[in-house]
C-alpha cells in the first residue's frame, strides 16, 4: 500500500513534467503553443489590439482550408488562435506557415505577442522553470553538505546577497524587469540566486529557497493542470474561445503600495545606504556586507508568496482558471470591490411587494392575482384577465387616494416598477415589480464586504439599497471609465463580471464568471466556475491583508535585529550574525503564509439564499384608505 501511494505521488509529479516537456518540444521555435483534446493553441502577433478584427476573421478562414482542420477561433484576449482538428493530427509547421502569411498580409509580422500569452496557464516554461529551480536548490543543499567537509574555495557572499536584494526589493526588481522583461528576469533570478548561494556554501538560504520553490512549483503545476481540465470540459464548445480585442487604457496611477512593498522598499534603501556608508566611511567590507544582508526584506515577500501559492493551488483544484498569477499577490491591497449588476440578477422580473388599498383584502390572494397577470419580459405593459387588470400606477393615479399615491412614490424610490392591480377598473393594490436577485447575490455582497468598500456597477434598479451596499457607479459601456476613476482616486479595485469587456482587464483584479450562454470573459485575471468561488477569493482579501502586515512586521524585526548584530561585536563573523535573524524571520513568514493560505482556502463556500415569497409576509395596507372588499 505504501508503495502504491509512492508510485501514485510520483506519477502526479511526473505526468505534468512530461506534458510540459512534450509541449515545449512540440512548440514552434518562435511561438508558444499548447495542444490537446483535438485542439492546438498557437500564438498570433498583434491580434490582441483593436482594429485587427478583419485579420482575425481572415486567419480563421484560411486555417479552416487546411486539411483536417474543422474550425478556428481567435482568442484576442490571450493572443492565440485555437485550431479544432479532431482526431486527425495536423503538423504545427503547416499551421504556423498559414499564420505567418496572414500576419504579413495584414502588416502584423513585426507586432508583438499579447502580454497575456506569456502568462498563459498552459505554458510549459513556468512549470519547467520552477521544477528546475527546485531541483537546483536541492542539488545545492547536497553540494554544500559535501563541500563543507572539503577545502573547496567558495564564492564571496556579496553576489548571492545582491541577487536576493534584487529579487526582494520592488523598485530594484521593476527596474531590471523593464530592461530584460519579466520571463527572463524570473529565470535569471531563480536560477542565478540558487547557484550563487550554492557556490557561496550558504545551506540555510538554500533550504529557505527550496521551501519557497516547492510552494511556487506546486502553484505552477496546479495552474497547468487546471488549464487541462478546463480545456477538456469547456474548450470543446464552439465559440467558447473566440473573443474580440478591446482597448485597455493604462492605469491612471501606480497601484498603491501595501505593507510588503512599503517595508521592502525602505529596507532595500537602508541596506544599500548602510553598505555604502560602511564601505566608504568605516572602511569595513565585512561589516558592510553584514548590513546589506541585514536589510534583505525576504520575509515580507516570502509570506505573501507562500499564501498566494497555496491559495492558487486550492482554487485551481476546485476548477478555477488563473490567467494572471500576480492577481493573488495583489489581494492584500484591494480596498474596493465592484459587482457588475448582471451577475447579481437572474434576468427575470418578479412581483416583490403587494400592498392592499383595502385593509380587509387578503395580500396573499392579491399577490397571486398580480403574479398571474405580470409579463416578466414586459412588466410595464397593461395586462388584463377577466375582471382583473394590472397597469403602471401612472395610468390610474387619479383614482388613487392621496395616501396611496404617497405610498406609490415611496415604493418607486426603492427601485423597480410600481403597478396598480385593479378589480373591475377599481385599484385594489399597489404592486412593486423588481429584477429578481440571483441566489448568490446576498452571499456575494457579504463576502465582498470583507475586502472593503462594495459598489454595484449599474445605476438602475437601486441594487445598492436592496443589498445594503456602499454605493453605485456607472455600468455597461461606462464601466471602464468608472474603474479608471476609482483607481485615479487611489483605490485598488477588484471587479466581478460575466461580460468580457475591457473593464475586467483594466481592474487591478478582474474576476470573471462564464455566462450561462457559454460565453467566457477571457479578459479576466481569474475565471471562476461559480459565484461561490468568487466569494472565496473576495473573502480571502482579509486574510491576505492580515498576512501581509504580519510578514512585513517579521521582515522589519529581522532586519532591525540583523543590523544591530552587524554593528555590534567583532568584525569577524558580522555577516553571519546579521543574516540569522533575517533567515529566521523568513522561515516564520513562510510558515505563516502557508497557514494563512490554508485558512483562506478553507473558508466555507457561499450558500445560496432561499427566497421567501413576499406574499407570505403580511404587509400592512395603505394607511387611511378604504375600498371594496372581494371574497
pLDDT at position 255 over 80: yes
Cα 291 from chain centroid (whole Å): 38
The residue-averaged pLDDT of 245-265 equals 93
Cell of 170: 520592488
Q: Averaged over 241-254, what is the pLDDT?
A: 92
**Better-predicted residue by pLDDT, 34 or 624:** 34
- Check residue 252 and give its pLDDT: 95
Three-state SS string across 397-459, please? Answer: HHHCCHHHHHHHHHHHHCCCEEEEEEECCEEEEEEEEEEEECCCHHHHHHHHHCCCEEEEECC
CA 299 – CA 588 distance, rounded (Å): 8
pTM of model > 0.75: yes
| Cβ–Cβ < 8 Å for 511, 526 | yes
Average pLDDT, the chain: 86
Domains, the chain, ranges and CATH? 31-118 (3.30.70.100), 127-227 (no CATH), 345-437 (3.40.1110.10), 439-534 (3.40.50.1000)
CA distance 195 to 192: 5
Least confident of 211-215, 473-477, 602-606: 602-606
Mean pLDDT of 578-599: 95
Q: Is the pLDDT of residue 629 over 50?
A: no
CA–CA dist 421, 357 (Å, integer): 10
Coil, strand or helix at 529? coil
CB burial readout 422-460, b (16+ within 10 A) else e:
bbeeebbbbbbbbbbbbbbbbbbbbbbbbbbbbbbbbee
pLDDT number for residue 618: 40
DSSP string, 284-339: -HHHHHHHHHHT--HHHHHHHHHHHHHHHHHHHHTT-EES-GGGGGSGGG--EEEE
H, E, C per residue of 361-392: CCHHHHHHHHHHHCCCCCCCCCEEECCEEEEE
Question: Within 10 A of 1 (CB to CB), how many other CB atoms are there?
Answer: 5
The model's pLDDT over 293-304, given as tens digits with 9 standing for 90+, comes to 999 999 999 999
Report the SS3 class of residue 152. Answer: coil
| Three-state DSSP state, 472 | strand
Q: Give pLDDT, residue 48.
A: 94
- Helix H or strand E encompassing 33: strand 33-36
**Residue 535 near residue 444, CB atoms below 8 Å:** yes
- CA dist list (Å): 279 to 273, 288, 297, 543, 560: 10, 6, 21, 41, 19
Burial classification of residue 611, based on how many CB atoms lie within 10 Å of its CB (0-12 exposed, 13-18 middle, 19 or more buried): exposed
Task: Quote the CA–CA distance of 515 and 527 in Å, as a whole number.
Answer: 11
Amino acid at each position: 500500500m505504501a508503495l502504491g501511494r509512492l508510485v501514485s505521488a510520483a506519477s502526479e509529479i511526473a505526468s505534468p513534467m512530461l506534458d510540459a516537456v512534450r509541449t515545449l518540444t512540440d512548440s514552434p521555435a518562435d511561438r508558444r503553443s499548447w495542444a490537446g483534446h483535438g485542439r492546438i493553441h498557437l500564438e498570433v502577433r498583434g491580434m490582441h489590439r483593436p482594429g485587427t478584427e478583419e485579420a482575425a476573421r481572415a486567419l480563421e478562414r484560411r486555417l479552416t482550408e487546411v486539411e483536417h482542420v474543422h474550425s478556428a477561433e481567435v482568442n484576442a484576449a490571450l493572443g492565440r488562435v485555437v485550431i479544432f482538428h479532431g482526431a486527425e493530427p495536423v503538423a504545427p509547421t503547416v499551421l504556423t506557415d498559414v499564420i505567418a502569411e496572414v500576419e504579413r498580409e495584414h502588416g502584423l509580422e513585426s507586432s508583438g505577442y499579447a502580454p497575456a500569452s506569456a502568462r498563459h496557464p498552459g505554458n510549459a516554461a513556468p512549470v519547467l522553470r520552477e521544477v528546475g529551480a527546485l531541483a537546483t536548490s536541492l542539488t545545492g543543499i547536497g553540494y554544500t553538505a559535501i563541500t563543507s567537509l572539503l577545502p573547496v574555495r567558495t564564492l564571496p557572499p556579496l553576489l548571492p546577497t545582491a541577487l536576493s536584494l534584487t529579487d526582494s526589493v520592488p523598485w530594484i526588481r521593476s527596474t531590471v524587469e523593464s530592461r530584460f522583461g519579466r520571463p527572463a528576469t524570473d529565470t535569471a533570478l531563480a536560477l542565478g540566486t540558487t547557484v550563487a548561494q550554492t557556490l557561496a556554501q550558504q545551506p540555510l538560504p538554500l533550504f529557505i529557497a527550496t521551501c519557497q520553490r516547492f510552494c511556487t512549483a506546486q502553484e505552477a503545476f496546479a495552474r497547468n493542470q487546471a488549464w487541462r481540465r478546463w480545456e477538456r470540459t469547456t474548450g470543446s464548445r464552439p465559440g467558447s474561445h473566440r473573443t474580440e480585442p478591446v482597448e485597455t487604457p493604462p492605469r491612471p496611477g501606480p497601484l498603491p503600495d501595501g505593507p510588503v512593498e512599503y517595508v521592502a522598499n525602505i529596507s532595500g534603501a537602508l541596506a544599500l545606504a548602510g553598505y555604502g556608508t560602511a564601505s566608504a566611511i568605516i572602511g569595513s567590507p565585512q561589516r558592510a556586507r553584514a548590513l546589506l544582508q541585514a536589510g534583505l526584506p525576504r520575509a515580507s515577500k516570502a509570506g505573501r508568496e507562500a499564501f498566494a501559492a497555496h491559495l492558487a493551488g486550492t482554487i485551481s483544484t476546485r476548477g478555477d482558471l488563473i490567467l494572471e498569477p500576480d492577481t493573488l499577490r495583489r489581494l492584500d491591497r484591494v480596498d474596493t470591490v465592484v459587482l457588475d449588476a448582471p451577475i447579481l440578477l437572474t434576468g427575470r422580473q418578479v412581483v416583490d411587494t403587494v400592498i392592499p388599498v383595502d385593509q380587509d383584502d387578503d395580500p396573499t390572494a392579491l399577490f397571486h392575482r398580480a403574479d398571474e397577470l405580470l409579463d416578466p419580459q414586459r412588466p410595464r405593459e397593461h395586462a388584463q384577465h377577466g375582471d382583473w387588470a394590472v397597469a403602471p400606477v401612472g395610468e390610474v393615479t387619479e383614482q388613487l387616494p392621496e395616501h396611496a399615491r404617497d405610498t406609490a412614490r415611496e415604493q418607486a424610490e426603492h427601485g423597480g416598477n410600481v403597478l396598480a392591480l385593479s378589480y373591475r377598473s377599481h385599484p385594489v393594490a399597489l404592486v412593486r415589480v423588481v429584477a429578481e436577485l440571483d441566489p448568490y447575490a446576498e452571499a456575494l455582497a457579504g463576502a465582498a464586504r470583507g475586502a472593503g468598500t462594495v459598489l454595484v456597477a449599474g445605476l438602475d434598479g437601486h441594487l445598492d439599497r436592496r443589498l445594503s451596499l456602499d454605493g453605485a457607479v456607472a455600468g455597461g459601456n461606462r464601466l471602464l471609465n468608472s474603474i479608471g476613476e476609482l483607481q485615479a482616486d487611489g483605490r485598488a479595485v477588484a471587479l466581478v463580471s460575466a461580460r468580457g469587456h475591457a473593464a475586467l482587464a483594466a481592474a487591478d483584479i478582474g474576476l470573471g464568471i462564464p455566462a450561462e450562454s457559454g460565453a467566457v470573459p477571457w479578459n479576466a485575471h481569474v475565471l471562476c466556475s461559480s459565484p461561490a468561488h468568487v466569494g472565496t477569493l473576495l473573502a480571502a482579501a482579509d486574510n491576505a491583508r492580515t498576512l501581509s502586515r504580519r510578514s512585513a512586521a517579521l521582515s522589519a524585526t529581522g532586519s532591525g535585529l540583523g543590523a544591530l548584530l552587524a554593528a555590534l561585536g567583532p568584525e569577524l563573523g558580522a555577516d553571519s550574525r546579521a543574516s540569522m535573524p533575517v533567515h529566521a524571520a523568513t522561515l516564520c513568514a513562510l510558515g505563516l503564509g502557508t497557514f494563512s493560505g490554508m485558512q483562506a482556502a478553507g473558508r466555507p463556500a457561499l450558500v445560496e439564499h432561499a427566497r421567501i415569497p413576499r406574499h407570505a409576509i403580511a404587509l400592512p395596507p395603505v394607511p387611511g384608505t378604504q375600498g371594496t372588499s372581494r371574497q
